[in-house]
Amino acid sequence: MPWDNNPGGRQGGPPDLSEMIKKAGDSLSLGKIGKPLWFIVIGIVLAIILGYTAFYTIPPGHQGVILRFGRYSGMVPPGLHFKVPFGVDTVFKVHTEQVDTETFGFKSIRPGIRTQYEKGAATELESLMLTGDLNVIDVEWIIQFRREDPQKYLFNVQDPIMAIRDISESVNRRIVGNRSFDYVLQNREEVNKMARDELQKILDEYETGIRVVNVRLQNVVPPDPVKGAFNEVNEAQQEKERLINEAQETYNREIPKAKGEAERTINGARGFALERVNHAKGDVARFSAVLKEYRNAKEVTKQRLYLEAYQTILPNAKQIYIIDSEQKGLLPLLQLNQEDKKGGEVQ
C-alpha cells in the first residue's frame, strides 16, 4: 500500500511515527494546543499507573514482606508505604494476629451459634488411633495457631498448613499410642499440653514461623462398632469405683471409731491401775506411819485407832444400843425396841 502523504517523498514502507503522533494530536486538539494536552493525558495515565504500582497499604494486624526482583528485601508494618513500581518490588501481606483453627477428625460445614459438623471417611481415618493398651479410640481435636514470623512462614516451608496438619497428627498418634485409653480420657489437659509443646518444638525446628496457641481434644470416644461394649465396661468400672468408695467411707468411719474406743478403754484401765497403785501406796504409807507410832506408844495408839474407827462407824449407824457389861444377852433389849415402834411411845 503506498504512503503518498509521507514527508520526504518516501514511497512504501512504514509511516513516520512522529508524523502519526502529530496528526493524532491535531485531530484530538483541533489546533496548535493539542500537543500539550496530549502530553498531559499521557502524564496523567503514567501518574495513575505509578500511583497504583508504587503505593500500597498494609492493613492493621498484618505485616508486609517485600521481594525485590524475587529476593527477600525486608518487612514493613501496617500503614501506607512506597515500593519500586513496574514489578520490581512485590509485596505479600501476612496476617500475624489472626488465630486460625485446624480441625482433625471432623469438619465444620456451617459455622454459627450452634456450629454443625460433619464426619466423613477421610476425617474418620485421621481420628482413629490405637492406644497403649491396644484399644481402638476415636480422637477429635483442634489446633489454633497464628503466623508469628511472615518471612519464615512464606519461604521456609512449601505448604505450612499441610505441614502443621501432618505434624500434629503424628504427635497425637505417638502420645495416644504410648498411653492407655483411660489415661487419655481422664487426663485431657495434660495430653493437650504435651501435644502443644511437642508440636511447637517441631515447628520451631522446621522454622515455619508458626506459633501454636492451643491444642485441645474435643471428643475422645470408642468407635461405633464397640461403643456398646465399651459403655458396659465403663458402667462396671463405675460400679466398682462406687463400691470401693462406699467401703472406704465405711472404713474411714468405723476404724477411727473403734480406735477411739480402744484408746479410751486403754486410758481408763491405765487410770484405774494408777489409782489403785497410788491408793495402795497411800495405805502402805499410812500403815507404816501408824506402825511407827504404835511402836513408840502402844496404848495411846490403840486408843487413838479405836476412837478413829468409831468416828467412822457411828455417823452411819441408824440405831445406837448402850449395853451393860453385865448384860447376858441382847434379846430383851431388841424386843423392847420393837414394842416401842409398835406402841409409838417410849417405854
pLDDT digits (tens, 9 = 90+) for 263-274: 999 999 999 999
pTM of this prediction? Answer: 0.55
Select the more confidently predicted residue: 22 or 297.
297
22: its cell numbers: 502529530
Q: What is the torsional sign of CA 24, 30, 36, 39?
A: negative
Sorting pLDDT into bands at 50, 70 and 90, what band is 16?
low
Beta carbons within 8 Å of 91's beta carbon, 6+ residues apart: 56, 58, 64, 65, 66, 67, 76, 81, 83
Give how far Cα 34 sits from Cα of 19, 29, 31, 220, Å.
Answer: 14, 4, 6, 79
Q: What is the mean pLDDT of residues 151-163?
A: 92
Q: What is the mean pLDDT of residues 57-77?
A: 91
Residue 137 and residue 188 in contact, taking contact as beta carbons nearer than 8 Å? no
For residue 104, give the amino acid letter: F
Q: What is the pLDDT of residue 2?
A: 36
Q: What is the pLDDT of residue 8?
A: 37
Q: What is the mean pLDDT of residues 231-255?
A: 89
Q: What is the pLDDT of residue 126?
A: 84
Q: What is the mean pLDDT of residues 81-93?
A: 85
- Of the listed ranges 34-43, 82-91, 330-339, the least confidently predicted one is 330-339
Q: What is the pLDDT of residue 330?
A: 55
pLDDT tens digits, 272-314: 999 999 989 988 888 888 778 777 887 877 787 888 887 887 7
CA distance 151 to 63: 10
Domain with CATH 3.30.479.30 in the chain: 100-221
Side-chain half-sphere exposure of 119, counting CA atoms within 13 A: 15
As assigned by CATH, the class of the 100-221 domain is alpha beta
